[in-house]
Amino acid sequence: MKLKIAVLPGDGIGPEIMKQGLEVTKAICEKFGHELSYEYGICGAQAIDQVGNPYPEETHRLCMESNAVLFGAVGDPKFDNNPSAKVRPEQGLLAMRKRLGLYANIRPITTFESLIHKSPLKDELVRGADFMCIRELTGGLYFGRPQGRSEDGTVAYDTCVYSREEIERILKVGFEFAMKRRKKLTVVDKANILATSRLWREIAKGMEKEYPEVEVEYMFVDNAAMRMIQWPNYFDVIVTENMFGDILTDEASVITGSMGLLPSASIGTYTSVFEPIHGSWPQAAGKNIANPLATILSAAMMFDYAFNLKEEATLIQEAVDASMSQNIRTSDIQVEGEKGYSTSEVGEWITAYIKNH
Ligand code: IPM
Ligand code: MN
């Protein structure tokens, strides 16, 4: 198969982890006989510095012409600490989501037995937790207009907007995933307060008939946040709107013991994007200490979701599992008394495993 990939390393630790994700991708393509071509694009703070735009037209064109996008992270403290900055790295991410039509963000939450002791929750609560958050990514408060300030600056407003079409297509993703998994779908909303949530519920109820095998449950977001801590094993597939999904997936990510392990896929109308969920961690940039596993696992998701190449995806997962069980790990997830490996050491070990299996 011919695979054309856009590589967007971005800011902070982005370039270091992406290097490992890319090496793994190359090794897989070589092994399975795929013809890989890839091209780098700029985004985030790096792109603001170079061309004044966090998602330049040229980067967009590259993404549109590729079969998949591997994305590192964006963000830089120099913008976080300057509330009057007109352009921000995060705007690039939002522009990319909107322009590529990436309406579904898929974040799988799984536990590794050897990491359970790192979880802030008791072992017996976390063990076996395995669920998937489907977050709507191009609507709601993030994009609703009007947004702004009154003329005298004393009042600010955001708007939450969802159309039937936007709700239907994301719920469909939720139902389809539930069908492929344990057939349980939790629709998370705030229907006791919000009009948009009531429309979500109405539409979901209507769709239940099309998926008679799926057990559907409706849960208020505050309750879901609590349940996730008390009983993470409870969930199979969660589907929710943009802002609720943002908050719940950060919560979910730490349950497993390390944020450094969680990949994500954003899919929709045009080219899909695969990225680690941990962000740019600027303090660690250039130190070769960041955990490359979330990026490597994002590459696995790319083979699975963008190319439907299951064997390739499975081999990457297997290599990651092997690195964990042989304690070839970065310090954030290393067991006590064992040395922490560097970003490149972990990545190179995994690449070698792939070549040899
Ligand atoms: C995420 C991030 C982004 C979001 C930021 C960086 C804009 O937190 O992908 O979850 O809020 O969606
Ligand atoms: Mn977030």
pLDDT of residue 335: 86
What is the per-residue pLDDT for 233?
A: 95
At residue 355 the predicted structure's pLDDT band, cuts being 50, 70 and 90, is very high
Residue 71 is predicted with a pLDDT of 98
DSSP reduced 3-state for 3: strand
Q: What tokens appear for 262 in the block? A: 């969680």
120-256 carries CATH number 3.40.50.300: no
Same CATH topology for 1-106+280-357 and 120-256: the answer is: yes
pLDDT at 53 exceeding the cut of 90: yes
Q: What is the pLDDT of residue 80?
A: 85
Q: Quick one: average pLDDT of 37-48?
A: 98
83-97 pLDDT tens trace? 788 899 999 999 999
Please determine, for residue 326, whether its predicted confidence score (pLDDT) is greater than 90: yes
Pocket test for ligand 1, best of 71, 90, 244 (most atoms within 8 A of CB): 90
Which atom of ligand 1 lies at the shortest distance from residue 275's CA? 9
What span, in angstroms and rounded, lies between the C-alpha atoms of 102 and 269?
Answer: 6
Residue owning the nearest CA to atom 11 of ligand 1: 246
Q: Whose CA is nearest to atom 1 of ligand 1?
A: 246
pLDDT score for 3? 98
Which of 246, 266, 298 to mutate to test ligand 1, by most ligand atoms within 8 A of the CB atom? Answer: 246
Whether residue 85 contacts residue 52, with contact meaning beta carbons closer than 8 Å, is answered with no
* Beta-carbon neighbours within 5 Å of ion ligand 2: 246
pLDDT tens-digit readout, 209-250:
999 999 999 999 999 999 999 999 999 999 999 999 999 999
Q: Does domain 1-106+280-357 have CATH number 3.40.718.10?
A: yes
Percent of the chain with pLDDT over 90: 92
CA distance 45 to 54: 6
What is the separation of C-alpha 182 from the centre of its chain, rounded to a whole number of angstroms?
21
Please write the tens of the pLDDT for every residue from 57-74: 999 999 999 999 999 999
Average pLDDT over residues 171-185: 98
Residue 257 has pLDDT above 90, yes or no: no
222 is catalytic: yes
Q: Residues 21, 296: contact at Cβ < 8 Å? A: yes
pLDDT band of residue 115 (cuts 50, 70, 90) is: confident
Strands (E), the chain: 2-10, 35-40, 68-73, 104-110, 130-136, 148-149, 156-157, 184-189, 215-220, 237-240, 263-267, 273-276
Mean per-residue pLDDT of the chain: 96
For position 297, what pLDDT does the model report? 98
pLDDT value at residue 40:
98
Q: How remote is the CA of residue 10 from the centroid of ligand 1, in Å?
A: 14
Q: Where are the domains of the chain?
A: 1-106+280-357, 120-256
250 has catalytic annotation: yes
Distance (Å, rounded) from C-alpha 185 to C-alpha 182? 9
Which ligand is in closest contact with the Cα of 276? 1
Which pLDDT score is estimated for 156? 97
- Helix, strand, or coil (residue 186): strand
Between the CA of 2 and the centroid of ligand 1 the distance, in Å, is 31
Tally the residues of the chain.
Answer: 357
Residue 259 pLDDT exceeds 90: no
Mean pLDDT score, 241-268: 92
Dihedral, CA atoms, 74, 255, 235, 325, nearest 10 degrees?
90
Spot the catalytic one: 49, 130, 250, 321. 250
Share of the chain above pLDDT 70, in %: 100
- Predicted confidence at residue 114, as pLDDT, reads 81
Residue 93 near residue 102 (C-beta atoms within 8 A): no
Q: pLDDT tens across 266-318, in order?
A: 999 999 999 999 999 999 999 999 999 999 999 999 999 999 999 999 999 99
